[in-house]
Amino acid sequence: MNESTSPPVMVVTGGSRGIGASVCLLAAQQGYRVVLGYRESRKEAEEVAARASADGGTVLPVRADVSVEADVVRLFETASEEAGPVTALVNNAGILEGQMDLVDMTPDRIDRVFAVNVRGSFLCAREAIRRMARSRGGNGGAIVNVSSAASRIGAPHEYIDYAASKGAIDTMTLGLSKEVAAEGIRVNAVRPGIIDTGIHASGGEPGRVKRVAPMVPMQRAGSPEEVAHTILWLLSDEASYLTGTLVDVSGGR
């Protein structure tokens, strides 16, 4: 394969729905060969791939639970073998659980949230860096972590565990950006505010977007596409001097 003309390869975790699906579609439109990781929504993942394909793009769905190391390794091995050298990672897969005060949280719940949101992002970043780092024969690259405005708001009475897991992602972004800068790898994060996706229903309040939107300074929720555009920009050469930056995509919230 001629690397100078082959399309760049992007891994997107949690690409079957919501923000991740929008990232996959926009990236495919922009000429990336996209490897879409999903946990269980195979049908939705295949629909994203079909939509990209109808538009002339390439999205390859791969089942991979980011909290399972073997799945993450297989995701990146599949990407390298079937799409080419990975130069972009979007650490997007994330979960939250039912709204409650910390005083009622079980250890299992806290572990589940941290296993996906924190350990999963760490493992994916590790596999990406092993392939991107110049000292390991890679071509450099860029990582965008999907954090949340919750990391600075704290999500009281809803999900402090989730907010704290995103705080860990902010800190990982800062440290990792410095650790791999000389390897030709940029690491940034987006911190979305209230975005209209299905994640709010998994907190037990499907109407949360409608309830909270009027309290946002811009008085509306954001769309997954608005977050996707910021992510694609951070991955692009237009953001070539940005690393360790946390970009709020939150309508002023």
Burial of 170 (0-12, 13-18, 19+ CB in 10 A): middle
* Interacting positions 102-131 with ligand NAP (CB under 6 A): 116, 120
Which segments of 71-165 are extended strands (E)?
A: 86-91, 141-146
In whole angstroms, give the CA distance from residue 77 to residue 124. Answer: 12
Binding flags for ligand NAP, 150-189, as an x/- string (CB under 6 A): ----------------------------------------
Name the β-bridge partners of 246.
189
Binding status of residue 65 toward ligand NAP by CB under 6 A? yes
Binding status of residue 17 toward ligand NAP by CB under 6 A? yes
Binding status of residue 206 toward ligand NAP by CB under 6 A? no
Of 92 and 243, which CB lies nearer to ligand NAP in the complex structure?
Answer: 92
Residues near 10 by beta carbon (within 8 Å), at least 6 away in sequence: 27, 32, 33, 34, 35, 86, 87, 88, 89, 90, 235
Q: Name the 3-class secondary structure at 231.
A: helix
Residues near 131 by beta carbon (within 8 Å), at least 6 away in sequence: 76, 80, 85, 86, 138, 141
Stretch in the footprint of ligand NAP (CB under 6 A) among 64-72, 103-111, 127-135, 231-239: 64-72
Binding status of residue 27 toward ligand NAP by CB under 6 A? no
Q: Phi and psi (nearest 5°) for 247? A: -100, 115
| Nearest distance from C-beta of residue 83 to ligand NAP, angstroms | 18
Binding status of residue 197 toward ligand NAP by CB under 6 A? yes
| Nearest distance from C-beta of residue 113 to ligand NAP, angstroms | 10
- Catalytic residue positions? 162
Residues at the contact surface with ligand NAP, assessed by CB under 6 A = 13-20, 37-41, 44, 65-67, 92-95, 116, 120, 146, 148, 192, 194-195, 197-199
